[in-house]
Chain A
Amino acid sequence: MPALHATSRRSPARRLAAAARWLTTPLLPEDYLGLVNPLWSTAELRGRIERVRHEAPGAATLEIRPGPDWAGHLPGQWLKIGVDIDGVRHWRTFSLSSPPRPDGRLAITVKTNPEGVVSRHLVENARPGTIVRLEPADGDFVLPQDPAARGLLFLTAGSGITPVMAMLRHLAAQGEMPDTVLIHSARTPDEVIFGAELRELAARFENLTLIERHTAGQGRLKLAELAGLCPDWAGRDAWACGPAGLLDEAEAHWAAADAAGRLRTERFRPVLAGAGGEGGRVRFTQSDVEVDADGATPLLEAGEDAGALLPSGCRMGICYSCVGRLRAGQVRDLRTGEVHGEEGHLVQTCVSAAAGPVEIEL
């Protein structure tokens, strides 16, 4: 991603921090300063939830003040946010719904989904004052250099409107709306996230055409209808964001019109590489070893049998010498039978077996 502003490593503040480390070793100065303001952290980027706004049934916008190291974002990008729920850190990806703002705050808009522990927690329990962890904004679902060049088309459904909202707000804030068509699907008018604001924008900017599709009454949008709604669709710069089904159809539709290069898609939930199962292909990324392991063999043993030199200790789950960072997939705890794991989790390889394909940084 583009570096929006770089912080000099030789700035006086950083030199002071380096000197202060002599006083705080083995900890960092920020570990103590954090007692005063938890946002003063360079080791991990943090933010404070400052406002929670209800948007639509099951959807809420969280306004977050990021710490001073936040490098900014481009409208349409997403970020990873780490939230502690019942004592445990969970990381999820959300699109930013705000354009860069003068007050430095950023906003994400979250819609609950039935199995979503994190989204439900954020919508129902997030309170101002809560500290969250952030990762820098990323993603290339963004506006081109010259948005007005070919006209814009946004095809969205449900919470897929969030990154597009950031772009529309950005364009509106600049005061110049290029020729833009937004086709958005939601079950009912009430369930349109940002409904009131979208309608207000469409009324304010003649150039912005808002087409709402209320699927409870009108049925799901078929791409065959697209030409009727927006005749020059294939010539526009297009963005699609929503459920996987819609995106698959859109990609096929644009490809068939030989316009695949004009379409950008944003998938909220990437295809999960291993949602359970017994055993699977295990890849030790640092050792560059791959092996098929069954559901009863610890990853450690499977790797060693395949010739990987892995850290190990007690081999019974007590000493934590063998932990490795999970890059993909899930594992089964052989002591409890519990299947767990998300990207970035540290797992004990001596008591964990593959539950489906696994990639681990060892």
Chain B
Amino acid sequence: MTNTAAHLTPADYEAIGAELDALRDEITADLGERDADYIHKIIKLQRGLEITGRALLMASALPPAWLAGTATLSVAKILENMEIGHNVMHGQWDWMRDPKIHSTTWEWDNVSPAEQWKHSHNFVHHTFTNIVGKDNDVGYGILRVTPEQPWHPANIGQPVYNLLLAMFFEYGVALHDLELEKIRAGTNDPAETKAKLRAIGRKIARQWGKDYLAFPLLSGPQFGTTLAANFTANIVRNLWSNAIIFCGHFPGDVEVFELEEEQMPNETRGEWYVRQLLGSANISGNKLFHLMSGNLSHQIEHHLFPDMPSNRLSEIAPRVRALCEKYDLPYHTGPFSKQITSTWKKIFRYALPGPKVTEPSPMPRAREAKPVAA
């Protein structure tokens, strides 16, 4: 893979850093009632949908009620996990100083405990984005999604693993912070792993208690159909969130990086921004699509500014794109069908060995540009 940022000079990196910092400051200073109204409105909408869905399922023995209830509950769960949960836990709404809508207090409707998710996602994934061996989101510890990852015979089954991972994605996310690779290598702290597993167990008990026991019981003789509806809604949410998230870093020419010795602590702001730009991909679509994807369809902007409120990402997207054009950097984007096809193609392709990596892609680094004819 070639380094698409090789043409940038140290001055370019500095300018990119300054421009993006200025953009962040501009939006931060402008946050106000409009934004607060937005998140309050989305939370209200989500809770209203959830109540509606659960209420419809009190008649889950009737097929139309089952369908409508399951669909409504699925949408509610998707909104809760993506536009609300993911973004609140990123600290996007912390500026409102409302302890009810705050990264330190939020718990989501998902088997992954918020505390663990915040570590594996906000810290590990967002800091070490797309660095092979550092960012566990590269293949989620079980998939080979780039030739830079060494091939193992077990990879042959990965299209099947991926389908299962997608269906039960919340469990995959829950196990994520356990850092399976460390456990495999025996370098984990057993006490810590045990404590994390216990927390996951408690969360699963509460989630199952609600979806697979309490609400089915509440619907009386319709126990079975309500349970099936709730199970379906969870699977729908899992498939959708998995698809959106995989489209964020795996499709097309999105780059992965090799960590150079001791480079990480010295990475400048500009270099960090460029790595985020090169390592993320957007999905184009309409307003409803952006909402249902938790605005992760603006993955590039989200990775540049993880704590910027999601309703602002579509506003800054044209400016980020213009910056990419100005500095001749790729801005990965495409419709959902294209991005998801490309992601699955990779999962099939890299199930098999190869292709040979000629030269590992170094992390974006400010150096003097190499002369064209060496």
Report if B331 contacts A (CB, 8 A). Answer: no
B: interface residue count bin: 35 or more
* Residues on A with beta carbons closer than 8 Å to the beta carbon of B25: 335-336
* Residues on A with beta carbons closer than 8 Å to the beta carbon of B37: 87
A: interface residue count bin: 20 to 34
A sample of 10 more A-B contacts (CB under 8 A), given A35-B47, A86-B36, is A26-B109, A86-B32, A87-B32, A87-B34, A88-B97, A313-B122, A314-B122, A319-B123, A320-B91, A323-B91
CA distance in complex: A22, B47 (Å): 16
Inter-chain contact A26/B108, CB cutoff 8 Å: yes
Q: A87-B36, A318-B127, A320-B103 are in contact. Are A22 and B306 (CB under 8 A)?
A: no
Report if A140 contacts B (CB, 8 A). Answer: no
Give a binary string over A306-339; 1 marks a CB under 8 Å from any B CB, 0 the rest. 0000000110111111010000000000011000
* Residues on B with beta carbons closer than 8 Å to the beta carbon of A24: 210
CA distance in complex: A319, B306 (Å): 8
Inter-chain contact A89/B33, CB cutoff 8 Å: no
Q: A87-B36, A89-B98, A316-B127 are in contact. Are A25 and B206 (CB under 8 A)?
A: yes
CA distance in complex: A320, B215 (Å): 35
Report if A281 contacts B (CB, 8 A). Answer: no
Report if B66 contacts A (CB, 8 A). Answer: no
* A321 → chain B closest CB, angstroms: 6
CA distance in complex: A90, B98 (Å): 9
* B64 → chain A closest CB, angstroms: 24
Report if B102 contacts A (CB, 8 A). Answer: yes
Report if B207 contacts A (CB, 8 A). Answer: yes
Inter-chain contact A25/B209, CB cutoff 8 Å: yes
Report if B179 contacts A (CB, 8 A). Answer: no
CA distance in complex: A345, B44 (Å): 25
Report if A23 contacts B (CB, 8 A). Answer: yes
CA distance in complex: A30, B229 (Å): 25
Inter-chain contact A25/B210, CB cutoff 8 Å: yes
Report if A43 contacts B (CB, 8 A). Answer: yes
* Residues on A with beta carbons closer than 8 Å to the beta carbon of B104: 320, 323, 346
Mark out the residues of chain B between 2 and 58 whose CB falls within 8 Å of any chain A CB in the assembled complex. Answer: 21, 24-25, 28, 31-37, 44, 47-48, 50-51
Q: A32-B47, A320-B307 are in contact. Are A313 and B119 (CB under 8 A)?
A: yes
Q: A35-B48, A316-B272 are in contact. Are A87 and B100 (CB under 8 A)?
A: no
* B233 → chain A closest CB, angstroms: 15
Candidates A84, A90, A335, A345; contact of B21 at CB < 8 Å: A335
* B173 → chain A closest CB, angstroms: 15
Give a binary string over B86-121; 1 marks a CB under 8 Å from any A CB, 0 the rest. 000011001111111011100111000000001100
* Residues on A with beta carbons closer than 8 Å to the beta carbon of B103: 320, 323
Q: A314-B123, A319-B118, A321-B122 are in contact. Are A23 and B214 (CB under 8 A)?
A: yes
Inter-chain contact A319/B127, CB cutoff 8 Å: yes
CA distance in complex: A89, B97 (Å): 5
* Residues on B with beta carbons closer than 8 Å to the beta carbon of A32: 47, 50-51
Candidates A22, A43, A87, A314; contact of B96 at CB < 8 Å: A87
Candidates B28, B44, B119; contact of A321 at CB < 8 Å: B119
Q: Which single residue of chain B is at the shortest CB-CB distance from A32?
A: B47
* B300 → chain A closest CB, angstroms: 15
Mark out the residues of chain B between 303 and 319 whose CB falls within 8 Å of any chain A CB in the assembled complex. Answer: 306-307
* B277 → chain A closest CB, angstroms: 15
* Residues on A with beta carbons closer than 8 Å to the beta carbon of B50: 32
Chain A to chain B: the 8 pairs with minimum beta-carbon distance, closest first: A87-B36, A26-B107, A313-B123, A89-B97, A319-B122, A320-B91, A86-B32, A319-B123
Q: A26-B206, A319-B123, A320-B307 are in contact. Are A87 and B33 (CB under 8 A)?
A: yes
CA distance in complex: A59, B132 (Å): 62
* Residues on B with beta carbons closer than 8 Å to the beta carbon of A90: 97
Mark out the residues of chain A between 1 and 24 whose CB falls within 8 Å of any chain B CB in the assembled complex. Answer: 22-24
CA distance in complex: A343, B66 (Å): 50
* Residues on A with beta carbons closer than 8 Å to the beta carbon of B99: 44
Q: Which single residue of chain A is at the shortest CB-CB distance from B43?
A: A31
CA distance in complex: A163, B91 (Å): 39
* Residues on A with beta carbons closer than 8 Å to the beta carbon of B48: 35
CA distance in complex: A44, B104 (Å): 16
Mark out the residues of chain B between 106 and 146 whose CB falls within 8 Å of any chain A CB in the assembled complex. Answer: 107-109, 118-119, 122-123, 126-127
Inter-chain contact A22/B210, CB cutoff 8 Å: yes
CA distance in complex: A346, B91 (Å): 11
Inter-chain contact A314/B126, CB cutoff 8 Å: yes
* A339 → chain B closest CB, angstroms: 14
Report if B218 contacts A (CB, 8 A). Answer: yes
* B81 → chain A closest CB, angstroms: 11
Instruction: Supply 27 A–B pairs (Cβ within 8 Å), ascending by A.
Output: A23-B214, A23-B218, A24-B210, A25-B206, A25-B209, A25-B210, A27-B109, A31-B100, A32-B50, A35-B51, A87-B31, A87-B95, A88-B36, A88-B95, A88-B97, A313-B122, A318-B306, A318-B307, A319-B127, A320-B90, A320-B103, A321-B118, A321-B119, A323-B91, A335-B25, A346-B94, A346-B104
